[in-house]
Structure 1
Amino acid sequence: MRILHTMLRVVNLDRSLAFYTEVLGMRMLRRNDYPEGRFTLAFVGYGSEADSAVIELTHNWDTKSYELGNAFGHVALAVDDAYAACAAIRERGGKVVREAGPMKHGNTVISFVEDPDGYKIELIQRG
């Protein structure tokens, strides 16, 4: 077994695709509209679905907002340099909600950014 994807519901698919592709540098892997069901699925990631876990962005056409709830935590991404990644994300219009630095009670350098729907993305510096 392996993890295939994580699904996130998004309000504005174009805005979310811009964030994941232009701000975080993922590739759009595939997109399918389901008019009879009134939803669209778009898959984004850094590698192919055959080799990597990806993110499924689900846009339900008639839903105007979602509550994130308090059970979901975040999606984590490995980066070479969390400080540089934060700067690049900010330059591209992304929202950094926790600046890069050592995590509490440890030495691992982390940061958090937020996507357009409020989902947290953790950046974990390799090494």
Structure 2
Amino acid sequence: MITGIEHTGIMVSNMDDSIAFYTEVLGLKLIDRFDHTSVPVELAFLGVNEKVLVELIAGYTGEVTNEGKVHHIAFSVTNIEEKYEWLKEKGVGMKDKEITELPNGKYFFFYGPDEESLEFFESK
């Protein structure tokens, strides 16, 4: 039985740069980091309150296209307008030029350090 989503894995080109972005810009906590020697790749697990949300994977030598990494990850936020302005001030690449409102909430997309599509979503 499925009980929820464990995490989303993202291929990254530079582990240190990606950890800095996800911790310093997005505010996730680095929970664990280690080498997976049988593949071999380096892994980092980030999240909130010890719950892993994102797995960063560096050193993968197989072929992966930008679209194949992950279509997008949506993070739940509060005060979405404040978050939008804060990311712009940090120089984060913004995919959406404005916040979109839906019947169930508001969202906008932006880019991570490897041009992965990320979303902030605020529920109503």
The equivalent position to 2:119 in structure 1, one of 80, 101, 122, is 122
Write the distance in 2 (CA, Å) between the matches of 1:21 and 1:64.
27
Identity %: 27
Cα 1:40/1:70, change in 2 over 3 Å: closer
Write the distance in 1 (CA, Å) between the matches of 2:57 and 2:47.
14
TM superposition shift of 1:8: 0.9
Write the distance in 2 (CA, Å) between the matches of 1:65 and 1:71.
10
C-alpha distance after superposition, 1:57-86 (max 9, x if no partner): 01116x498412369421111111222101
Unaligned residue ranges in structure 2 (runs of 5+)? none
Contact 1:97 1:112 in 2 (8 A): yes
What does residue 113 of structure 1 align with?
Answer: 110
Number of aligned residue pairs: give it: 121
What does residue 55 of structure 1 align with?
Answer: 54
Structure 2 letter corresponding to 1:125: E
C-alpha distance after superposition, 1:71-120 (max 9, x if no partner): 942111111122210111222332221134234xx343211111011111
TM-score for both structures, normalised by structure 2: 0.82
Write the distance in 2 (CA, Å) between the matches of 1:72 and 1:55.
11
Write the distance in 1 (CA, Å) between the matches of 2:38 and 2:122.
43
Structure 1 letter corresponding to 2:121: I
Cα 1:13/1:38, change in 2 over 3 Å: same
Write the distance in 1 (CA, Å) between the matches of 2:69 and 2:16.
26
Cα 1:38/1:72, change in 2 over 3 Å: closer
TM-score for both structures, normalised by structure 1: 0.80
Alignment pair present for 1:90 and 2:88: yes
